[in-house]
Amino acid sequence: MSRTRIKFCGLRRKQDLECAVALGVDAVGFVMVPASKRCLSLNQAAKLRERVPAFVNVVTLLMDAPARDVRAVIKAVQPDLLQFHGNETAEFCASFGLPYIKAVAMSGPVDLARFARRYRGSRGLLLDSHAPGQMGGSGTAFDWTVATPTSMPLILAGGLNAQNVGKGIAQVRPYAVDVSSGIELQPGVKDVQRMRAFVDAVARADRAWQRKNDG
């Protein structure tokens, strides 16, 4: 059965990280953008990283950071993936020797096929509801009808929660979903019940898709 991967982003507390791991998420995201309320220092991120077990990917979110800052994050945190959320060029994203994913601002019409060709070295395109040059984590979803299929894995983000993620999965059929504000009490403070409900909702959506295909 095809399974939608799950990333919890904006983690700041060890108890939230431990809950995410216990729930079986595939990836955890550390925000390294000073303008974000969820931002971690290098030391904070490194300490959280030490608590992440094998087979759970650590993703560091960066936005228009200078190359020296990206290298500092890589050295301190040792992420499995870099997530670039700004106006970084494909050449810049590929210059650090690590796999990366590129966020796409879906606030208006976007030619995803063209974007995929431009960032052909990316391991996936993260579709978020932010406007170009702005952060995600707003809690607002975008119009999923504009998320057209591409040859590159799509990661659905932007305003997801336990109540709407099933519809998003059914409509977009993403490789993965990425949630932050939809599992929070406040920025950077996750809620156990919301985290569990989100994981359960993704599993239900996957089962429903499988039944539809089997039928």
Q: State how far the alpha carbon of 107 is from the alpha carbons of 41, 93, 147, 152, 182, in Å.
A: 29, 22, 11, 20, 19
- % pLDDT > 90, the chain: 82
Find tokens 């796409």 and name the residue: 104
Question: Residue 58: its pLDDT value, please?
Answer: 99
Q: Is 111 a catalytic residue?
A: no
Question: Residue 130: its pLDDT value, please?
Answer: 65
Selected catalytic residue, list 9, 19, 39, 93 = 9
- For domain 5-214, give the CATH number: 3.20.20.70
Task: Please tell me the pTM assigned to this model.
Answer: 0.94
Selected catalytic residue, list 16, 19, 39, 128 = 128
Question: Residue 69: its pLDDT value, please?
Answer: 99
Provide the token pair at 21. Answer: 């791991």
Question: Residue 145: its pLDDT value, please?
Answer: 83
Give pLDDT < 70 ranges for the chain: 1, 130-139, 215
φ/ψ of 127, rounded to 5, equals -90, 110
CB neighbours of 35 closer than 8 A, spacing ≥ 6? Answer: 63, 135
Rg (CA), the chain: 16
Whole-angstrom Cα distance, residue 57 to residue 70?
18
Question: Residue 1: its pLDDT value, please?
Answer: 54
Question: Residue 107: its pLDDT value, please?
Answer: 76
Question: Residue 132: its pLDDT value, please?
Answer: 53
Question: Residue 214: its pLDDT value, please?
Answer: 79
Question: Residue 91: its pLDDT value, please?
Answer: 98
Provide the pairing of β-strand 189-190 with 184-186.
antiparallel
How far is C-alpha 73 from the geometric centre of its chain's CA atoms? 17
Q: Is 69 a catalytic residue?
A: no
